[in-house]
Structure 1
Amino acid sequence: MLTVILTGQFMAVLDSSIVNVAIPSIRDSLHTSGAALQLIVAGYVIAYAVLLVTGARLGDRFTQRRMFIAGLALFTAASLACGLAWNETALIVFRFAQGVGAAAMVPQIMTLIQRNFTGHARAKALSVYSAIISGGMVAGQVLGGLIVSADLWGSGWRGVFLVNVPIGVVLLVLAPRILPTATQRFDRNLDLSGLTMLTAAVLALVLPLVLGPELDWPVWSWISLGACVIGFAVFVGIERSVAARGGEPLFSHRVLAAPGLLLAAATLFVIMATFGGWMFVMAIHLQSTLGYSALHAGLLFIPMGVTFALASLNWERIPNRLHTSMIPLGLVLAAASMVAIGALLRNGADVGELVLVLLAICGMGNGLAFSPLMTRTLAKVPMNLAADASGILVTNVQLGIVVGIASFGTLFLGLAGSTTLSAAHALGGTAIAEGVTVLLAAGLSARAAR
């Protein structure tokens, strides 16, 4: 069961980054405009981030088994459609459909782990889950370059979407036979008013963050960000009204009151914002500033992905008495390594062995924080509220990646000038900002542990 659901998770994470390296090929093949290219990249992330909470609640209503299979089927069909897309409009629409499928599938994964594993087995399963998140982000950079470069049967960029199809078909055959049919169903109200307002507020946040940097922050992007603040305030009012009437709000007080949940969610948000932003900024620096190919740049991230995965899978081997201090210490290591990498590369130097070692330390530090923090937090959530907690944490992770790419990417591009040296100096400045932000996460994690 774990293999099936985590393979689905891997595909969902993979598709948020694998398309990046195929953009030049898509532009040449479909004669795509710059704005359309942004929607091709961002459409998946927008739909995915906006609908995650809705997917989690629907899983409780119709069972996680049914929603996982339905989301997987839509994701696989949309991947096939993306690979066969005949123009930019079709590809944009199918990318949104991919995101909808992922949003239906992914929230069920953590809930299935919560409800079908206990004790040490649950901690190990959540550790593998954390490793998959990191591995998918790194694998997207590497596999995207390999697939586009291989150009099997003349598929070119289409291969980055079509690779999901055979995997999805195999999972669709296995999932109905393997996923538990006795998953408990909770007859819960959907709180449509809350869902609608939350969806609108998240959309108003994600859309300008994804498209704003590339479009030089037009007026509508600032209006949208302002509207998202109002939307979240209205959402809080709706939730309080629903609770006062004796209804079931989208985020019940019992979920939000789970020990350390809100602090853990905030910490995970900051961790993934810095991790996603760092990978994005480094990818730009390696390809644009240093002139490395997409495949070469992707391969350099392997040490970071491997150590993140190893730390996520083996943190329980560390004595229990050290677990509380391990999380902030891991984040301090990540912050120090980022700043050191920025200092080494700020004069336009090539990536050497020391930088690779520091990237590995950065991955290890994040892995020592992300997986145990999520595991320890979910262990305190009642089983009947697992879907709501999963929706909150998974949405935080996804929004963190989006916000990190937008904020740190904008900072880097704003500091970078027209020369190689100025762009390298921009990396050094961005690395300091990343390091300070990771230290903020370390402080939050220490407080959450207490």
Structure 2
Amino acid sequence: MTTTSRTGPGTEPVPDSATSEALATDSDSAAASGPSLRKTAPGSASPASGGAPPVTESEAPATDKRPRLLLTVLLAALFMAALDVFIVNVAAPTIGSELHSSGADLQLVIAGYAITYAVLLVTGARLGDRLGHGRVHLAGLALFTAASLACGLAQGPAQLIVFRLVQGAGSALMIPQVLSLIQRTFTGEARARALGAYSAVLAVGAAAGQVAGGVLVSADLFGTGWRPVFLVNVPVGAVLLVVGRRVLPLGRAGGEERNRPLDLPGLVLLAAAVSLLTVPLVLGQEEDWPAWSWLSLAASLVLLALFCGHESRLARRGGAPLIALRVLRHPGIGLAVLRILAVMSVNAGFMFALTLHVQGGLGYSALRAGLGFAPTAAVFGAVSLTWRRWPAPWQRRLAPAGFALTALSVAVVGHAFHDGGDGGAVLYAGYTGVGAGLALAFSPTLTGALATVRPQDAADASGLLATVTQLGQLIGVASFGTLFLNRLESLGVPGPYTSAEAFSACAWALAGTAVAGAVSGLVLRRR
């Protein structure tokens, strides 16, 4: 489901991506494209925000003295969470053989993390509002680190599945606080740079998960096989906990957010709706799409409609909905939701289908398959961190241009593999184009959507867009993975040629989705 946003009376739409003027204005200038963001001290009120909530004494030292270290801690935690969505993919065959796991077990090991992650993200954002973003972030980090240790020590598939669910819950607590703390700590140009780094880390972590998984499994450190893909999080998480206690704000939020009651009926409805959506997306292909999977998808739409109705009624009565409706109506949020769904679906679907082809069809090792994603990850990170330096007139068009480049590059990769070979030199040009295109489609979209969100709405916007990001990845893996596997099955005899044909069909579908993302802004603007 996508949400189209409309401006209020007397306002103008915000452009697709925030321009330099909108993000870097000082106290004497204002952007023509949207509300100005004046450079104020972190935690103080700004005209764009309509007044930030008061900051407690315990928050002030962290945001005033050490914002760069604070950002480093937050982004390191984000990188671990993004990494863990994909790092298990290339380790799955080893896990299956060592733990004697069934296909359904492996599906749950891979996807259980994403299920609880997606289901609890909005709840994690709201708890940060009530209890303090730094405090909830550290609690989630501690839970994630402990669950990673438990995963690495698991003795059977059932234990591993349970601990992966707990790992996802830890991520759901800590990750929404990253965007919320960025919104509350940085202003103007500094906020734009922080959001660019957030975008880079998020998608580079996804691609690097494949690389890291391949390296760790192939290394077989001390004969531990697949276990280091989880245990690597333990020392990193421990260091982040120690440093985080020193640099993150540990006080509770001030203002109205602190006293907002938790919308328990809304929480139950949303969690049930997301669960009924994600479980069949994850397990439907493995079970050959039985009747229960379609009933579950239909029920998720019904519950989502009930959730929207409940939130609307609660807001009209003056209550505190789980997701503030003013965030959904904010200029640019509807288009951002649509584009983030598209770019994350293409990103996850491309990596998943490509992994299936090169490991299953071409017989690559886990290490070689993982390293194939290195150019995409490196270029994505570089572009995400530098696009703000490009000429201002270009920045309005970066998102649609990024989708167009992605469509072309995915088609190039599909064509490079079409004869059942290794793709040759042109393949790496395609990988580079995919990384650059996805970065241009994602980073300006996220930055533009969050650039003018008021600090008191940071948790709502963070939870919403983080949930959309996870759902986009789940939809991409489920839809394009299903397309690849169904096409492979219909072709009959397995081998590099049939696998290449299946990937080629998948590549054209991915390219079509990217084209839809490119034209989405034009469609919504005309409406």
- TM (norm. structure 2) is 0.83
The question of 1:367 aligning with 2:439 is answered yes
Task: Indicate which of 194, 198, 214 corresponds to 1:145.
Answer: 214
Does structure 2 conserve the Cα–Cα contact (< 8 Å) formed by 1:332 and 1:439?
yes
User: 1:116 & 1:446 partners in 2: Cα distance?
Assistant: 33
Task: Indicate which of 257, 264, 269 corresponds to 2:329.
Answer: 257
Task: Indicate which of 225, 242, 252 corresponds to 2:297.
Answer: 225
Where does the alignment leave 5 or more consecutive residues of structure 2 unmatched? 1-69
Indicate the SS of the match to 1:19: coil
Query: Aligned partner of 2:113: which letter?
Result: Y
Does structure 2 conserve the Cα–Cα contact (< 8 Å) formed by 1:204 and 1:224?
yes
Query: Aligned partner of 1:123: which letter?
Result: A
Q: How does 1:306-325 map to 2 (within 5 A)?
A: 306-325=378-397
Q: What residue number does 1:67 align with?
A: 136
User: 1:245 & 1:381 partners in 2: Cα distance?
Assistant: 24
Q: What residue number does 2:506 align with?
A: 430
Where does the alignment leave 5 or more consecutive residues of structure 1 unmatched? none
Does structure 2 conserve the Cα–Cα contact (< 8 Å) formed by 1:134 and 1:305?
yes
Query: Aligned partner of 1:429: which letter?
Result: A
Q: 1:365-394: CA deviations, max 9, x gaps?
A: 111121111111101211100110011111
Q: What residue number does 2:13 align with?
A: none
Give the C-alpha shift of residue 278 in structure 1. 0.6
The question of 1:48 aligning with 2:117 is answered yes
User: 1:447 & 1:381 partners in 2: Cα distance?
Assistant: 23
The question of 1:294 aligning with 2:366 is answered yes
Query: Aligned partner of 1:309: which letter?
Result: G
The question of 1:11 aligning with 2:80 is answered yes
Task: Indicate which of 96, 105, 130 corresponds to 1:27.
Answer: 96
TM-aligned CA distance change 1:169 to 1:448, over 3 Å: farther
Give the C-alpha shift of residue 447 in structure 1. 5.5
Give the C-alpha shift of residue 432 in structure 1. 1.1
Indicate the SS of the match to 2:364: coil
Give the C-alpha shift of residue 159 in structure 1. 1.1
Does structure 2 conserve the Cα–Cα contact (< 8 Å) formed by 1:346 and 1:426?
no
User: 1:342 & 1:154 partners in 2: Cα distance?
Assistant: 37
Does structure 2 conserve the Cα–Cα contact (< 8 Å) formed by 1:208 and 1:222?
yes
User: 1:447 & 1:74 partners in 2: Cα distance?
Assistant: 43
Does structure 1 conserve the Cα–Cα contact (< 8 Å) formed by 2:131 and 2:253?
no
Does structure 1 conserve the Cα–Cα contact (< 8 Å) formed by 2:328 and 2:334?
yes
Q: What residue number does 2:202 align with?
A: 133
Query: Aligned partner of 1:437: which letter?
Result: T
Does structure 2 conserve the Cα–Cα contact (< 8 Å) formed by 1:327 and 1:445?
no
Give the C-alpha shift of residue 223 in structure 1. 1.1
User: 2:521 & 2:469 partners in 1: Cα distance?
Assistant: 15
Q: What residue number does 2:66 align with?
A: none
Does structure 2 conserve the Cα–Cα contact (< 8 Å) formed by 1:75 and 1:97?
yes
Higher mean C-alpha displacement, 422-431 vs 202-211:
422-431
Task: Indicate which of 181, 184, 190 corresponds to 2:262.
Answer: 190
The question of 1:81 aligning with 2:133 is answered no
Q: 1:141-167: CA deviations, max 9, x gaps?
A: 111111112222222111111110000
Task: Indicate which of 125, 132, 157 corresponds to 2:226.
Answer: 157
Give the C-alpha shift of residue 448 in structure 1. 6.5
User: 2:438 & 2:112 partners in 1: Cα distance?
Assistant: 28
Query: Aligned partner of 1:21: which letter?
Result: V
Give the C-alpha shift of residue 326 in structure 1. 1.6
How many positions carry a matched residue from both structures? Answer: 450
Q: What residue number does 1:242 align with?
A: 314
Does structure 2 conserve the Cα–Cα contact (< 8 Å) formed by 1:324 and 1:449?
no
Q: What residue number does 1:178 align with?
A: 247
Does structure 2 conserve the Cα–Cα contact (< 8 Å) formed by 1:328 and 1:446?
no
Task: Indicate which of 338, 343, 350 corresponds to 1:266.
Answer: 338
The question of 1:166 aligning with 2:238 is answered no
Q: 1:56-104: CA deviations, max 9, x gaps?
A: 1111011110110000000000011111112221111111000000000
Q: 1:184-227: CA deviations, max 9, x gaps?
A: 34221211101110000000000000111112112211111111
Give the C-alpha shift of residue 351 in structure 1. 2.6
Does structure 2 conserve the Cα–Cα contact (< 8 Å) formed by 1:135 and 1:309?
yes
Q: What residue number does 1:305 align with?
A: 377
User: What is the RMSD computed on CA atoms of the aligned residues?
Assistant: 1.4
TM-aligned CA distance change 1:446 to 1:171, over 3 Å: farther
TM-aligned CA distance change 1:220 to 1:171, over 3 Å: same
Tell me which stretches of 4 or more aligned residues in structure 1 moved more than 3 Å.
Answer: 445-450
Query: Aligned partner of 2:332: which letter?
Result: G
Q: Identity over the aligned pairs, expressed in percent?
A: 51
Higher Rg of the two aligned structures: 2
User: 1:80 & 1:341 partners in 2: Cα distance?
Assistant: 38
- TM (norm. structure 1) is 0.97
Q: What residue number does 1:57 align with?
A: 126
The question of 1:327 aligning with 2:399 is answered yes
Task: Indicate which of 405, 418, 427 corresponds to 1:346.
Answer: 418
Indicate the SS of the match to 2:226: helix
Question: Where is the helix percentage greater, Structure 1 or Structure 2?
Answer: 1
User: 2:252 & 2:263 partners in 1: Cα distance?
Assistant: 22
The question of 1:120 aligning with 2:189 is answered yes
Task: Indicate which of 208, 211, 214 corresponds to 2:286.
Answer: 214
Does structure 2 conserve the Cα–Cα contact (< 8 Å) formed by 1:46 and 1:203?
yes
Task: Indicate which of 447, 450, 455 corresponds to 1:378.
Answer: 450
User: 1:447 & 1:141 partners in 2: Cα distance?
Assistant: 35
Q: What residue number does 2:472 align with?
A: 400
Give the C-alpha shift of residue 446 in structure 1. 4.7
Query: Aligned partner of 2:462: which letter?
Result: S
Does structure 1 conserve the Cα–Cα contact (< 8 Å) formed by 2:130 and 2:252?
no
User: 1:125 & 1:211 partners in 2: Cα distance?
Assistant: 36
Q: What residue number does 1:36 align with?
A: 105
Higher mean C-alpha displacement, 247-256 vs 60-69:
247-256
Give the C-alpha shift of residue 136 in structure 1. 0.9
